[in-house]
Amino acid sequence: MEYLEELHPDPCMIGHTPLERAHTRQAERFIELNIFYNVTQIFFHTHVFFSDKNQVPAIADAATAKLSSALKSLDQSLNHSEFVIANKPTIADCTLFAAFIHAKRVDIELGAECKNIRCWQDNFSQRNSIKSIHL
């Protein structure tokens, strides 16, 4: 991401100041580790595609609980915001949207009970850069 930001700095997706970059990276990392990763764990430990692997249902259960907690936390922090942390899209929004794409492709429902996340998803999905993605 840093490499791409250096090559194509406009629009800025990580932040202009050290504080903006720190907040962006913190939010993106939270989403990666607590949402995207747990979707992957649930998929791996429950899906028939991986049935020949060492699936551990308890890991999927733990990931489901962690995912639910992370989504609730994110939902509260969004507080009707259009974007995850700033007044413009950042890599945190991109990672969250990628998590939604991944979850949808593996039949995992994300944040059905989270109004702010649903609002964010609806708004973010309407961006021209997102509409060009074939989901």
Q: Any idea what the CATH number is for the domain that residue 64 is in?
A: 1.20.1050.10
Sign, CA dihedral 96-100-105-110, equals positive
Read off the pLDDT of residues 71-111 as tens digits, 9 standing for 90 and up: 999 999 998 889 999 789 999 999 999 999 999 988 888 88
What average pLDDT does range 39-49 have in this prediction?
A: 93
Tokens (6 digits) for 55: 């699936």
What is the number of domains present in the chain?
A: 1
pLDDT score for 32: 98
For 33, the domain range is 2-131
> 135 pLDDT band (50/70/90 cuts)?
low
- Nearest 10 degrees: CA dihedral of 104, 109, 112, 116? -50
pLDDT score for 2: 86
Its pTM stands at 0.90
pLDDT score for 134: 58
Closest CA to 74 of 95, 46, 104: 95
> 27 pLDDT band (50/70/90 cuts)?
very high
What average pLDDT does range 59-77 have in this prediction?
A: 96
